[in-house]
């Protein structure tokens, strides 16, 4: 099979002509990601516009709104009361995990479509409610898995589908970093089990988990896992996690994540006739390198592609405007919470857990 690897990933395979727009966003949560990553991405997007920001701090909301020239600056309470609801069409929720549900409930009650950061919530039960309130209100809900809108990762998925490496056999993925090295904050919300729902798994482990589902185009049927805490810094949350996912047709995925290891993020899909490796892969706007190895040799390309958060927002907006499949919807995000709960159950009980 001949293979042509592009030097630039210039096409949006999901893009369709749409009427109307732009989709006006309220960004709920002004931590570094909402403020420094999401808002600039919306500003650079083709189909979106930021018109409101929401924060627990009135001063922060006002400062960011003034800096960005936005129409509305709201506290969480003002947002919940529906103030300035006419200023936006959709809501991007980028708060700590356990705060997703109340903000999504508000958006649904106001008839606003929702782009919600991963994981969908801190527990499967709360994630299920996130899905339910959006369904009941008839609003769109997308789980913000940017890997699924990133052009190079979508291209890799198409190569797997096309049989470039034969039949898939195994996926491996790792996403690790040393959270507390160099003065990392031990009091951050990601180390609070009530706010985060877990540790490395819930923050970075969901990347190899969900990307395995995406590139294999399948859902796992069982999991076997080990999750390790390390008090006092990692008390009630996992510092390290490793898990094996069993997929249909005897395909497996080996995934690991850590808050206390040297930085690494890569994935490999092994097939009966070759393998595809992407390294790095999971960081925001990673300088990805794709290597495809088959019997006749190896081909490597350094990926050139646009900012992936711009892609994610435009993907969401064109789905809403064009009535296209929104992709990783709420049910899709809910399944990852079910898998995460099974990972912890498997680790606690030392056995394989069927899904």
Residue 346's φ and ψ, nearest 5 degrees, are: -60, -45
Indicate if the pLDDT at residue 119 is higher than 60.
yes
Beta-carbon contacts of residue 217 (< 8 Å; ≥ 6 apart): 157, 160, 161
Tokens 């990392």 belong to which residue?
184
Q: Residues 294-318: pLDDT tens digits?
A: 988 899 988 888 999 999 999 999 9
Handedness of CA 93, 95, 98, 102 (dihedral sign): negative
Angle of helix 124-137 relative to helix 330-349, nearest 10 degrees? 170
Tokens 């690494």 belong to which residue?
264
Domains of the chain in sequence order: 23-146 (3.40.50.720), 151-304+330-354 (3.30.360.10)
Beta-carbon contacts of residue 65 (< 8 Å; ≥ 6 apart): 52, 53, 71, 72, 73
- Whole-model pTM: value is 0.96
Q: Residues 123-165: pLDDT tens digits?
A: 999 999 999 999 999 999 999 999 999 999 999 999 999 999 9
CB 117 within 8 A of CB 144: yes
> Mean pLDDT, the chain, as a whole number?
95
Indicate if the pLDDT at residue 1 is higher than 60.
no
The secondary structure element, H or E, covering residue 308 is helix 308-322
Tokens 């929720």 belong to which residue?
93
Q: Residues 69-91: pLDDT tens digits?
A: 999 999 999 999 999 999 999 99
């Amino acid at each position: 099979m001949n293979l042509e690897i592009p030097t630039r990933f210039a096409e949006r395979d999901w893009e369709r002509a749409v009427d109307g727009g732009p989709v006006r966003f309220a960004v709920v949560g002004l931590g570094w990601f909402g403020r420094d990553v999401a808002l600039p991405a919306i500003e650079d997007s083709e189909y979106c516009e930021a018109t409101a920001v929401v924060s627990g701090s009135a001063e922060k909301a006002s400062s960011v709104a003034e800096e960005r020239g936005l129409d509305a600056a709201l506290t969480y309470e003002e947002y919940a009361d529906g103030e300035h609801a006419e200023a936006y069409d959709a809501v991007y929720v980028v708060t700590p995990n356990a705060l997703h549900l109340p903000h999504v409930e508000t958006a649904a009650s106001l008839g606003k479509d929702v782009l919600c950061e991963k994981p969908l919530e801190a527990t499967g039960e709360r994630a299920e409610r996130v899905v339910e309130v959006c369904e009941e209100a008839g609003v769109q809900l997308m789980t913000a898995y940017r890997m699924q809108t990133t052009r190079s990762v979508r291209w890799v998925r198409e190569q797997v589908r096309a049989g470039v490496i034969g039949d898939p056999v195994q996926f491996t993925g790792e996403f690790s970093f040393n959270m507390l090295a160099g003065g990392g904050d031990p009091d951050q919300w990601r180390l609070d089990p009530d706010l985060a729902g877990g540790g490395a798994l819930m923050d970075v482990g969901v990347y190899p988990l969900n990307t395995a589902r995406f590139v294999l185009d399948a859902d796992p049927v069982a999991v076997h896992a080990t999750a390790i805490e390390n008090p006092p810094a990692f008390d009630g949350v996992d510092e390290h996690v490793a898990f094996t996912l069993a997929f249909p047709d005897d395909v497996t995925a080996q995934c690991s994540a850590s808050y206390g290891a040297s930085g690494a993020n890569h994935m490999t899909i092994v097939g009966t006739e070759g393998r595809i490796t992407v390294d790095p892969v999971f960081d925001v706007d990673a300088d990805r390198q794709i290597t495809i190895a088959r019997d006749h040799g190896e081909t490597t390309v350094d990926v050139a592609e646009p900012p992936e958060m711009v892609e994610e927002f435009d993907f969401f907006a064109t789905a809403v405007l064009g009535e296209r499949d929104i992709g990783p919807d709420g049910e899709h995000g809910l399944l990852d919470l079910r898998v995460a709960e099974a990972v912890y159950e498997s680790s606690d009980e030392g056995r394989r857990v069927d899904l």
